[in-house]
Structure 1
Amino acid sequence: MSGRTEEALSYEQARDELINVVRRLEAGGTSLEESLALWERGEELAKVCRRWLEGARARLDAALAEEEAGEEDEEGE
């Protein structure tokens, strides 16, 4: 597992590491302790991905609202 902190991970890095965690869990063959550690890391990575996606959604919503406001200004003139 990676020693990187969540803040330092890009969305793509977190997603890729999460995919690897899921593959390892699905493959089995790990001890209970290893499985729990993988599960916990997966939860952390999922939170990182969720924060990135929520941030992207907020930026998109702000850009769309700005575009709509600009169109309303043009129509009002």
Structure 2
Amino acid sequence: MTTEQKTPPKMSYEQAREELGRVVERLEAGGTSLEESLALWERGEELAALCQRWLDGARAKLDAAREARTQ
């Protein structure tokens, strides 16, 4: 696990998911410059990774709880 993964995310899963949705909407709407589109894409990648870390953490907690119950 990297240091980045150990650090708690600064925004909630819901906040990250909502912002990711807005980023996708802006990209799909078009009308942005290449530079802005690239910046939006990069932000979307960051948000998607953050959401995935939240989901991975939740899965790990569920797995640990299940494991503890069976012991």
Secondary structure of 2:9's aligned partner: helix
C-alpha separation in 2, matches of 1:32 and 1:60: 42
40, 43, 66: which one pairs with 1:41?
43
- Give unpaired runs (5+ residues) of structure 2: 1-7
Task: With the length of structure 2 as denominator, give the TM-score of the two structures.
Answer: 0.86
Structure ID, larger Rg: 1
**Count of residue correspondences:** 64
SS in 2 for 1:30: coil
- What is the TM-score of this pair, normalised by structure 1? 0.80
Query: Where in structure 2 are the equivalents of 1:25-64 lying within 5 Å?
Result: 25-64=27-66
Cα deviation per residue 1:36-56 (whole Å; 9 max; x = unaligned)? 000000000011001000000
Structure 1 moving runs of 4+ over 6 Å: none
